[in-house]
């Protein structure tokens, strides 16, 4: 969109400069026919100035365009670098939890698939990707013994696990340039019916990014391998997502997940490694 505007801007400048030259040229021709030497000299001088004006604008546009391209490349490079740093951090978080190998990357992948069907702009997709990648960062603050416990968790242990949502938000609150990441971490375990945690938000009170991540997160939990089971069969996962419509999940987002699943005939969207 921006490039289009810049092209139009350039064309407008060129058109104005071209028009000035044409008018001056017409004046020269008319006066030449009348034989007015002084006027012709003045008009020729004006014509020369018009051409210089045209060239000045032309080179200015080229220079502006080059600067714009360089700036765009620089922004993309910084964006790529920050994404690589985030991905490295995310791998560290996932490595801490033996159950969640590659979990955050898959949650980001599924979140983006959902958001693309909700017509998100590329800027919104970028923010959502970071938010989904970092949603479980608070697990850094949960002890390995609780996180990797094989048997059933006690109430106290479950309470500690639940704290990862607030803890994540606290850690990410430093990223003021992208407040979505802290919001996503805090609310990704909220439920549409209000029975989630940590705040018990209900329906659309739950921020949109968190509602999307909640669906992607649950989908990945069911389609990932565990030490005691393989990924659940696709029809079982489908049933669970259907059951969660309007209770655990935002109905619109859960239905989009079902559509994605129906298109995934070979059941490729799951943990395979």
Say how far apart CA 134 and CA 182 lie, in whole Å: 9
- HSE-CB for 109 with a 13 A CA cutoff: 13
Q: How far is the CB of 103 from Fe ion (least distance, A)?
A: 9
6-14's contacts with Cβ under 8 Å and 24+ in sequence apart are 6/64, 6/65, 6/68, 10/61, 10/65, 13/57, 13/61, 14/54, 14/57, 14/58, 14/61
Q: How far is the CB of 161 from Fe ion (least distance, A)?
A: 8
For residue 82, the Cα-to-chain-centroid distance in whole angstroms is 13
The window from 39-47, 58-66, 134-142, 247-255 that contacts Fe ion (CB under 5 A) reads: 134-142
Please provide the DSSP assignment of 118-129 as one string: TT--HHHHHHHH
Measured from the CB atom, is 25 or 146 closer to Fe ion?
Answer: 146
The window from 1-9, 100-108, 129-137, 229-237 that contacts Fe ion (CB under 5 A) reads: 129-137
Residue 220 touching Fe ion (CB under 5 A): no
Measured from the CB atom, is 54 or 197 closer to Fe ion?
Answer: 197
Closest residue to Fe ion, judged by C-beta, is 136
Measured from the CB atom, is 136 or 180 closer to Fe ion?
Answer: 136
Measured from the CB atom, is 210 or 237 closer to Fe ion?
Answer: 210
The window from 13-21, 130-138, 242-250, 255-263 that contacts Fe ion (CB under 5 A) reads: 130-138
7 is catalytic: no
Measured from the CB atom, is 1 or 145 closer to Fe ion?
Answer: 145
How does 71-103 read in b/e, with b if 16+ C-beta sit within 10 Å? eeeeeeeeeeeeeeebeeebeebbebbeebebb
Q: How far is the CB of 247 from Fe ion (least distance, A)?
A: 18
The window from 23-31, 75-83, 135-143, 148-156 that contacts Fe ion (CB under 5 A) reads: 135-143
Please provide the DSSP assignment of 193-238 as one string: TS--SSS---GGGS-HHHHHHHHHHHHHHHTS-BTTB-PPPHHHHH
Q: How far is the CB of 111 from Fe ion (least distance, A)?
A: 13
Residue 136 touching Fe ion (CB under 5 A): yes
CA–CA distances in Å: residue 240 to residues 2, 135, 169: 44, 22, 28
Catalytic position from the list 7, 139, 202, 243: 139
Residue 97 touching Fe ion (CB under 5 A): no
167 neighbors 195 (Cβ within 8 angstroms): no
Please give the residues from 174 up to 193 whose contact with Fe ion meets the rule CB under 5 A. none
Q: How far is the CB of 155 from Fe ion (least distance, A)?
A: 18
**Count of positions on this chain that bind Fe ion (CB under 5 A):** 1
What residues are annotated to the active site?
139
The footprint of Fe ion (CB under 5 A) covers 136
């Amino acid at each position: 969109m921006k490039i289009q505007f810049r092209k139009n801007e350039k064309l407008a400048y060129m058109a104005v400069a071209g028009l000035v030259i044409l008018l001056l040229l017409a004046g020269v021709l008319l006066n030449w026919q009348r034989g007015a030497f002084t006027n012709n000299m003045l008009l020729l001088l004006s014509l020369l100035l018009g051409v210089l004006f045209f060239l000045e604008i032309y080179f200015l546009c080229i220079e502006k365009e080059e600067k714009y391209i360089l700036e765009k490349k620089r922004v993309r490079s910084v964006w790529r670098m920050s994404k690589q740093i985030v991905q490295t951090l995310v791998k560290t978080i996932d490595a801490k939890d033996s159950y969640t190998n590659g979990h955050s990357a898959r949650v980001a992948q599924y979140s983006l698939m959902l958001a693309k069907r909700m017509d998100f702009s590329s800027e919104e997709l970028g923010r959502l990707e970071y938010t989904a990648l970092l949603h479980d960062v608070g697990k850094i603050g949960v002890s390995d013994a609780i996180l990797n416990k094989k048997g059933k968790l006690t109430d106290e242990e479950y309470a500690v696990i639940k704290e990862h949502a607030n803890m994540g938000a606290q850690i990410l609150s430093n990223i003021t340039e992208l407040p979505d990441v802290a919001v996503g971490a805090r609310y990704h375990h909220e439920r549409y019916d209000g029975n989630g945690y940590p705040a018990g938000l209900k329906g659309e009170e739950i921020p949109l990014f968190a509602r999307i991540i909640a669906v992607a997160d649950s989908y990945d939990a069911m389609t990932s391998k565990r030490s005691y089971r393989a990924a659940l069969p696709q029809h079982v996962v489908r049933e669970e997502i259907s059951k969660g419509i309007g209770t655990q999940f935002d109905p619109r987002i859960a239905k989009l997940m079902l559509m994605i699943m129906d298109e995934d005939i070979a059941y490729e969207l799951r943990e395979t490694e």
